[in-house]
Structure 1
Amino acid sequence: MPKSRPTFLWSLFSLQILCTVFFMIDFGHDVVGTPGAPRWAGDFMEGAVAVALLLGTVFVGYELRLVRLREQRMRQQIDVASGAFADMLHTQFDAWGLTEAEREVALLGIKGYSIAEIASLRNTKEGTIKAQNAAVYRKAGVSGRLQLLAHFVEDLMGGPLIDRPAAAEANPSA
């Protein structure tokens, strides 16, 4: 949305508030019967305000339609990205030669479950989960869960976030 569009929407909102106030005051004058300007001037003003409200309503409806379409597109993009991430996981799991149990443990670990939670979900002992995690990390060539997760995040981002050799030169104590 261009910068001028939110300004326009706020201006439209303000105009609609003014129109509402006008109609409320006009209604009060009609009820009380206060004499004022000639009737044709009031009718002209009411007509102008009604046209402004009509145009505002049409524009708001159009904007709501655009927002709904944008939301649908974003949901589709998220679905595609989720499917692509799942495909990437399974492709990498195949390349590493993970067993079905190791795949499940790795996936639950990537999702953020603790060892105890994974053991509970899989109806097994924590020691078994630790051994399966160790096998996953060994096959993946990483030292732990964070490096495993970082491997997939780097793939999503299109490569490493930091050039490792350059980072090591910049910080030799690391």
Structure 2
Amino acid sequence: MTRATLLWSLFAVQALCSVYFLLDIVLDFWPNSSFFLAESDLVELLVTVALIGGLAFTTFELRSMLNRQSKLEDQMKVASGAFGEVLEARFQSWSLTQAERDVAILAIKGFAIAEIAKIRDTKQGTIKAQCASIYRKAGVSGRLQLLSLFVDDLLADNLVATPTHQAREMDVS
């Protein structure tokens, strides 16, 4: 059973339990009403146990989701810092000028030639020439290949060490 199926099943059980208790309350105020399940202490006990179990499981799932979210946020911080380091290292190895670095960053961010020219307050021809120089120095044919160099670098590294990975590193040291 998948986690989603389990959570939806738990939701359905909790909804049924809530309906049972609402029905029980309504029947308590309804004159001369009798519903055999509403009078059963055993049914009320089972419904209460189901709700408490659902509450416990929901608490566990919430903690688990918050931990996963925290780990993902940590990975994003590391990836962001690592991406900056990867950019700088590549730019140095390609011997890009400062202007080429600025254009390369804007190109990687997805800005069009016209937008880069406007941001840098220069002509589109200049930006095209700088892009051509960047691609030549990087050994790629265009923007997508340039971007893929950085993505490949980031995906090749384990940016956030897992506890097992950290333990192995400590054993080696």
Q: CA deviation at 1:36?
A: 4.9
- Secondary structure of residue in 2 paired with 1:113: coil
Match 1:87 to one of 78, 81, 85: 85
5, 9, 12: which one aligns with 2:10: 12
1:147 aligns with 2:145: yes
Residues of 1 paired with 2:74 and 2:8: CA distance? 30
The answer as to whether partners of 2:14 and 2:54 remain within 8 angstroms in 1 is yes
Moved more, 3-12 or 25-34: 3-12
Per-residue CA shift, 1:62-87, capped at 9, x if unaligned?
21111111011011112212221221
Query: What amino acid is aligned across from residue 113 of structure 2 in structure 1?
Result: I
Matched letter for residue 135 of structure 1 = S
Which one has more relative contact order, counting CA pairs under 8 Å at least 6 apart? 2
> Which of 19, 24, 27 is the equivalent residue of 1:26?
24
Q: Which amino acid counterpart does residue 65 of structure 1 have in structure 2? A: R
TM-aligned CA distance change 1:9 to 1:108, over 3 Å? same
CA distance in 1, matches of 2:123, 2:59: 57
RMSD over equivalenced CA pairs, Å? 2.2
Q: 2:108 pairs with 95, 107, 110, which one?
A: 110
Against the structure 1 CA distance between its residues 130 and 31, is the aligned structure 2 distance closer, same or farther, given a 3 Å change threshold?
Answer: same
Identity %: 51
| Gaps in structure 1 of 5+ consecutive residues | 159-174
Offset from partner CA, 1:59-112 (integer Å, 9 cap, x none): 212211111110110111122122212211110000111111110101111111
Larger radius of gyration: 1
Instruction: Answer yes or no: is the 8 Å Cα contact 2:82–2:154 preserved in 1.
Output: no
Paired residues of 2:37 and 2:43 also in contact (CA < 8 A) = no
1:1-174 alignment to 2 at 5 Å?
A: 3-33=1-31, 34-37=33-36, 41-158=39-156
- Paired positions, count: 155
Q: CA deviation at 1:37?
A: 4.5
